Amino acid sequence: MRQFDVESTYDTTVETLWELLQDASLLTKLTKFPKVRLVGDGASVEGNEIKLFVGVGPVELPWDSVIAIEGERAFCDQGKTLPFPFKRFTHVHRVEERDGKAVMVDEVTFDSFVPNILVEYFVLRPMFRERARAFQKTLNS
């Protein structure tokens, strides 16, 4: 298993940032690679199952997760059906206020069929960097 955290700071309120995280459909709009398609309800509430398809070009693979916990501006999605190369995937989303700004904290724990370090640095970290830029663009529009 590998665990890493990503923190992204935005010049907005925690309420505004938290509201953006409440619906997984935003993920489909913000994620350019891999392409993400949501099927059904994307609400980030306790017990909800999130059904996504991720892919490149015509190849799409299922990525299903369940919202496992919910708290004060925090929730966790636990992977159930995951595409290659993932064996396990847990993602805690949290929004905090620091120095008058909103901070999105992502705690990611995963295991994969290929070396975890490669997945982290060549897939996940670039994806989170792109997502942070997309959130900033969304907040500035």
Say whether pLDDT at 22 is over 90. no
CATH of the domain at 135: 3.30.530.20
| C-alpha span between 57 and 54 (Å, rounded) | 10
pLDDT tens track for 45-76: 888 899 999 887 788 999 999 998 877 899 99
Domain that holds residue 133: 2-140
pTM: 0.89
| C-alpha span between 22 and 101 (Å, rounded) | 19
The closest of 95, 98, 92 to 110, measured between CA atoms, is: 92
pLDDT tens track for 81-91: 999 999 999 99
Q: For the chain, how many structural domains are there in total? A: 1
Q: Amino acid letter at 60?
A: E
| C-alpha span between 18 and 93 (Å, rounded) | 10
